[in-house]
C-alpha cells in the first residue's frame, strides 16, 4: 500500500512536462493493448476460417456446390473464402462470354488478387501503429526522464548543500517516465513481431491456394466445363 502511495505521490509531484509525458505514454499503452486484443481476435478468426474452408474445399465436392454453401455464410467475402468466391464468380462470368482460356484464367486470377489485397490490407491494419509504439515509446519516456533530472539538478542549484534525500525524489519521479515508456513498448514489439509473422503465413497460404485453384480452373476450362 505504501509503495502505491509513494508511486502516486511521485507522479503527482512531477513537473508538468514529465506528467504530460506520462499521460501520453499511458494513453498510447491503452490504445496499444486495444489494438493487440482486436488483432488477436481478427487473426484467430482468419486462421480458423482458412482451416475450415480448406477442409471443405479439398473434401472433393463440386465447385458450384462449395460456392453455394459458402455464399450463404456471414463471412463469404473474407479471407480464403472471399478469394475463392471472387475467382469462381469471375471465371463463371467470363466463361459465359466465350472468351479464350487464357483470358478467362487471367480475369479470374486478377479478381482473386484484388480480393487477396483487400484481405491483406484488413489483416495488416494497425500493425504499423504497434511498430511505431514499440520503437518510439522508450525515447518518449527517456525524454521525460532527462527533463525531470534536468529540473532536479536545477533545483539543487538553489541549495547550499545537496544530499541524497534532496536528489532521490526528483530522479525517482523522472525514471518513472522511462519505466512507462518500456511498459508501453515491450508488449507492442512482441505483438507486432508475432502478428506480422501470422499475417505473413496467411499470405503464403493465400498465394498457395490461388495457384492451386488456378490450376483447377485451367483444367475445367480445358475440358470446357462451365460452373
- Note whether residue 197 is domain-resident: yes
- Note whether residue 119 is domain-resident: yes
Note the pLDDT of residue 43: 94
**Gap between the Cα atoms of 136 and 41, Å rounded:** 25
* Cα 26–chain centre separation: 20
- Note whether residue 19 is domain-resident: no
Note the pLDDT of residue 4: 44
- Note whether residue 161 is domain-resident: yes
Domain enclosing residue 208, as ranges: 25-57+72-223
* pLDDT of 122 over the 50 cut: yes
Report the pLDDT averaged over residues 75-84.
81
Q: At what angle do helices 79-96 and 16-57 cross, to 10 degrees?
A: 50
- Identify the band that residue 168 occupies on the pLDDT scale cut at 50, 70 and 90: low
How far from 54 is each of 34, 49, 57, 177, CA to CA, in Å? 30, 9, 5, 48
Report the pLDDT averaged over residues 163-173.
67
- Note whether residue 65 is domain-resident: no
Taking the model in full, what pTM does it have? Answer: 0.81
Note the pLDDT of residue 220: 75
Higher pLDDT, 88 or 100: 88
Report the pLDDT averaged over residues 54-83.
78
Average pLDDT, rounded, for the chain:
83
- Note whether residue 20 is domain-resident: no
- Note whether residue 15 is domain-resident: no
Beta-carbon neighbour count of residue 41 at 10 Å? 10
- Note whether residue 16 is domain-resident: no
* pLDDT of 115 over the 70 cut: yes
Higher pLDDT, 159 or 120: 120
Higher pLDDT, 101 or 201: 201
Domain tally for the chain? 1
Instruction: Judge residue 176's burial from the number of C-beta atoms within 10 Å of its C-beta, 0-12 exposed, 13-18 middle, 19 or more buried.
Output: buried
Q: Which residue, among 37, 34, 29, has the nearest Cα to 140 in the 3D structure?
A: 29
- Identify the band that residue 3 occupies on the pLDDT scale cut at 50, 70 and 90: very low
User: Of the spans 29-33, 73-77, 95-99, which averages the highest pLDDT?
Assistant: 29-33
Note the pLDDT of residue 165: 60
* pLDDT of 18 over the 70 cut: yes
Amino acid at each position: 500500500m505504501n509503495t502505491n502511495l509513494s508511486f502516486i505521490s511521485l507522479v503527482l509531484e512531477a513537473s508538468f512536462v514529465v506528467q504530460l509525458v506520462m499521460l501520453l505514454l499511458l494513453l498510447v499503452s491503452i490504445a496499444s493493448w486495444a489494438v493487440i486484443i482486436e488483432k488477436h481476435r481478427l487473426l484467430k478468426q482468419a486462421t480458423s476460417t482458412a482451416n475450415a474452408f480448406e477442409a471443405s474445399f479439398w473434401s472433393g465436392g463440386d465447385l458450384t456446390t462449395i460456392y453455394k454453401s459458402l455464399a450463404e455464410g456471414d463471412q463469404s467475402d473474407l479471407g480464403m473464402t472471399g478469394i475463392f468466391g471472387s475467382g469462381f464468380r469471375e471465371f463463371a462470368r467470363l466463361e459465359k462470354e466465350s472468351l479464350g482460356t487464357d483470358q478467362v484464367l487471367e480475369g479470374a486470377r486478377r479478381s482473386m488478387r484484388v480480393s487477396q489485397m483487400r484481405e491483406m490490407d484488413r489483416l495488416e491494419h494497425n500493425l504499423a501503429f504497434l511498430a511505431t509504439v514499440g520503437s518510439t515509446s522508450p525515447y518518449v519516456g527517456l525524454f521525460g526522464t532527462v527533463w525531470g533530472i534536468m529540473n532536479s539538478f536545477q533545483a539543487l542549484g538553489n541549495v547550499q548543500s545537496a544530499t541524497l534525500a534532496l536528489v532521490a525524489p526528483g530522479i525517482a519521479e523522472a525514471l518513472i517516465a522511462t519505466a512507462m515508456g518500456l511498459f508501453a513498448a515491450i508488449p507492442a514489439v512482441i505483438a507486432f513481431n508475432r502478428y506480422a509473422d501470422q499475417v505473413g503465413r496467411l499470405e503464403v497460404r493465400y498465394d498457395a491456394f490461388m495457384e492451386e485453384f488456378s490450376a483447377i480452373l485451367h483444367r475445367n476450362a480445358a475440358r470446357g466445363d462451365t460452373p
